[in-house]
Structure 1
Amino acid sequence: MKDKKSIKKSTLSKALALVVVAAVSVGATYAYLTDKQSVTNTFTVGEVKIEVKEPAWGTTGTTHEIAPGVEVAKDPSVKNTGKNTCYIRVKVNYDQNIFEIPDLNLGTETNKWTFNDKDKYYYYNSKVEKNAETSKLFNKVKMKATVKENGETLKDKLNVIVNAEAVQADGFNSYTEAFNSANTQLAEK
């Protein structure tokens, strides 16, 4: 027969073995039930891009003959060809001694455009969605009847230049806020 000491040792050894097996089992189970995950969020930058459209004028770069007192169709609007909704403004540069634009305020009269006397831009009052287009700012230009034809004198003055600019609409509450924030950046372009 075994003595009591040996039985106690054996029982203690068995109990320790059970504790070790239990600890290993819990550890293995714990390791088995753990998880690890990683997520990569990729951002892309949008695109603000515009195109001045003049269907009555024809293709960009074409010329039209004009003479004193003659009107020529010119009907600029601006299309949003980018990916983001934007605000648009337009400045029209021309020699006021040579040309007049009889309906330049067409857009302001229909409440589509607002003229800012300080910076001389016409601001489109609404956001312009992707693939959408502003209304026309005017429909025609006219050479003043008082202009004396002299090819050399007029040569560099016979341009009516329509400059359009756009700023993303996201993050801004109005075209004023958008262009005030972007004026420095637009000046650098």
Structure 2
Amino acid sequence: MRRSKRMILTGFAAMICLTAVGGTAALFRAKSIVNNQLSVGYNTITIKEDFTPPKEMNTGENTYKKNVEVKNTGTVPCYVRVYVAFSDSNVADVSELSPDGSSFFSAESYADHLPEHWTYIEEPDDAELGGYYYYTEPVAAGKTTDALFKKVKTTFQTAADVQDYEIIVYAESVQTADKDGTEFTGSDPWKQAWTEFLSRK
């Protein structure tokens, strides 16, 4: 505060001095403000689903489009994992999933026939990570994963077997950098990212 007053008084004295010798002087004051805006990156996702359900379930094969992808709607790259379950285990036993829209594999064995960049960890193999499909590539902000599956086929052998059901799809994401802001590297950075995240929960 004292320094500012001194500067103003000095300027004022200079103006008086110049005026005394018959000249005119204007005292101009310039001011500049810089606002440094810092924003925090955030990690959010949404499930993108192209779903065309059959009008009703019938005896025999019931095939329909269910294209499941996950979009990164945040501002930082992330890794994605997806949980999938049938609302009825009996339906799961007679249902198949398609990674490409043409070939089908039983829901139970689908983990062995996943599209590129997807992997599955069995629950008995890893208590923390098990039970999820993992997208092994980082998903950039605004980008979307490849489809986890594209179609579903459920086959009811008799009219008594026919029933409505749901396929539950749940997704989570985690940033591609560790708690110190360093990107995970190595052969399975996606797994490192999830392991660190879950260890902090």
Give TM-score scaled by structure 1 length: 0.62
> For 2:132 and 2:74, how far apart are their aligned partners in 1?
21
Unpaired runs of 5+ in structure 2?
A: 1-33, 100-109, 124-129, 179-183
The amino acid across from 2:91 in the alignment is: I
Distance 1:130 1:63, change over 3 A: farther
SS at match of 2:142: coil
- Match of residue 137 from structure 1: 148
Does residue 116 (structure 1) correspond to residue 131 (structure 2)? The answer is no
Distance 1:54 1:185, change over 3 A: farther
- Match of residue 46 from structure 1: 41
CA contact (8 A) 2:114 2:148 kept: no
The amino acid across from 1:78 in the alignment is: V
Structure with more strand by fraction? 2
> For 1:175 and 1:85, how far apart are their aligned partners in 2?
11
Give CA deviations for 1:18-42 in whole Å, capped at 9, x if unaligned: xxxxxxxxxxxxxxxxxxxxx9976
- Match of residue 167 from structure 1: 174
Give CA deviations for 1:27-67 in whole Å, capped at 9, x if unaligned: xxxxxxxxxxxx99765321111111112x16xxx885333
CA contact (8 A) 1:107 1:135 kept: no
Which has the larger Rg? 1
Unpaired runs of 5+ in structure 1?
A: 1-38
- Match of residue 71 from structure 1: 63
> For 1:44 and 1:85, how far apart are their aligned partners in 2?
16
Distance 1:41 1:92, change over 3 A: same
SS at match of 2:90: coil
> For 2:91 and 2:158, how far apart are their aligned partners in 1?
6
Give the CA deviation at 1:108: 5.1
> For 2:155 and 2:135, how far apart are their aligned partners in 1?
28
Q: Where in structure 2 are the equivalents of 1:173-184 lying within 5 Å?
A: 173=185, 174-183=189-198
Give CA deviations for 1:144-170 in whole Å, capped at 9, x if unaligned: 32365478xx46xx1101111100112
Give TM-score scaled by structure 2 length: 0.58
Q: Where in structure 2 are the equivalents of 1:1-189 lying within 5 Å?
A: 43-55=38-50, 57=51, 65-68=56-59, 69-94=61-86, 95-99=88-92, 100-103=95-98, 105=110, 109-118=114-123, 119-146=130-157, 148-149=159-160, 154=163, 158-171=165-178, 172-173=184-185, 174-183=189-198
Give the CA deviation at 1:106: 8.4
CA-based RMSD of the aligned residues comes to 3.1
Structure with more helix by fraction? 1
The amino acid across from 2:57 in the alignment is: I
> For 1:170 and 1:142, how far apart are their aligned partners in 2?
38
Give the CA deviation at 1:107: 9.3
